[in-house]
């Protein structure tokens, strides 16, 4: 199920990708669950981004860089948590947050690392493909040639952990058609806490 990228494309250690992770029936089931949700434009320091989100389990507050308990994860997403957990070898109860994001045509995610309270990041693509990009986190290593760009397909799963999670930033190029994603995150222990979040999600 691991996709075969071109040989010259070297992904960072800790970045895993699985093509066709979901069946069409599973994708439709998730889209039906998402249709029940009220999604709201993401607000980042007073700026409303051109995409809508809804988080469960925990909520991250950009103004304070703090995490608070949120609404419980709806039962309709439990099969996805179980499937991903089994596939990547974690316990289901390690999943602390589930984030649903709607990307209208033309919307992007700019360069960022995820909030420092989170450890492992797993993402599911629904309804459309997108172009995923990676670059080193350290500014002195950021050059045009250091950017890794590759397609992330509909119904695929990607995972970021270890170096891919901590030493790299990621972004998504403008989407060409309506896309949804579901992101699962696990929490760091107090000893694993990182430096303040450098999110730039506008």
Q: Which domains does the chain have, with CATH numbers?
A: 15-192 (2.60.120.590)
Q: Between 189 and 126, whose confidence is greater?
A: 126
Task: Indicate if the pLDDT at residue 44 is higher than 80.
Answer: no
Buried b (16+ CB within 10 A) or exposed e, 116-127: bbbbbbbbbbbb
| Among the listed residues 85, 107, 118, the one whose alpha carbon sits nearest the alpha carbon of residue 173 | 107
Instruction: Report pLDDT digits (tens) over 111-120.
Output: 999 988 899 9
CA–CA distance, 147 with 126 (Å, rounded to integer): 24
Average pLDDT over residues 7-25: 89
CA–CA distance, 176 with 108 (Å, rounded to integer): 10
| Among the listed residues 157, 153, 163, the one whose alpha carbon sits nearest the alpha carbon of residue 87 | 157
Q: Of all helices (H) and strands (E), which one includes residue 164?
A: helix 162-166
CA–CA distance, 80 with 65 (Å, rounded to integer): 28
Q: Which two tokens stand for residue 69?
A: 């308990």
Strands 95-103 and 179-187: antiparallel
pLDDT of residue 45: 55
Instruction: Report pLDDT digits (tens) over 146-175.
Output: 999 999 999 999 999 999 999 999 999 999
pLDDT of residue 24: 98
DSSP 29-69: HHHHHHTTS--EEEEETTEEEEEEEEEESEEEETTTTEEEE
Strands 40-44 and 58-61: unpaired
By the 8 A CB rule, do 70 and 59 touch?
yes
CA–CA distance, 47 with 62 (Å, rounded to integer): 11
Count Cβ atoms within 10 A of the Cβ of residue 6 and give its class: 0-12 exposed, 13-18 middle, 19 or more buried: exposed
CA torsion angle 180 184 9 2 (round to 10):
-90
Evaluate the CA torsion angle 3, 5, 7, 12 in order and state its sign: negative
Q: Phi-psi bin for 20: left (phi > 0), alpha (psi -120 to 50), beta?
A: left
């Amino acid at each position: 199920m691991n996709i075969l990228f071109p040989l010259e494309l070297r992904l960072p250690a800790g970045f895993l990708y699985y093509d066709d992770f979901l069946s069409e029936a599973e994708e439709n089931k998730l889209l039906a669950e998402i249709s029940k949700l009220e999604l709201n434009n993401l607000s980042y320091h007073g700026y409303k981004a051109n995409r809508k989100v809804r988080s469960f389990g925990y909520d991250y507050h950009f103004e304070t860089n703090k995490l608070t308990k949120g609404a419980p994860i709806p039962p309709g997403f439990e099969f996805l948590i179980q499937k991903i957990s089994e596939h990547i070898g974690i316990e289901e109860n390690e999943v602390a947050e589930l984030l649903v994001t709607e990307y209208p045509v033309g919307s992007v995610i700019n360069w960022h690392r995820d909030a420092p309270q989170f450890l492992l990041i797993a993402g599911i693509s629904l309804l459309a493909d997108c172009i995923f990009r990676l670059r080193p986190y350290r500014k002195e290593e950021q050059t045009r040639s250091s950017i890794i760009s590759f397609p992330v397909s509909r119904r695929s799963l990607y995972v970021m952990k270890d170096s891919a999670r901590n030493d790299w930033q990621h972004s998504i190029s403008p989407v060409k058609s309506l896309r949804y994603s579901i992101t699962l995150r696990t929490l760091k222990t107090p000893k694993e806490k990182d430096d303040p979040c450098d999110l730039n999600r506008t």
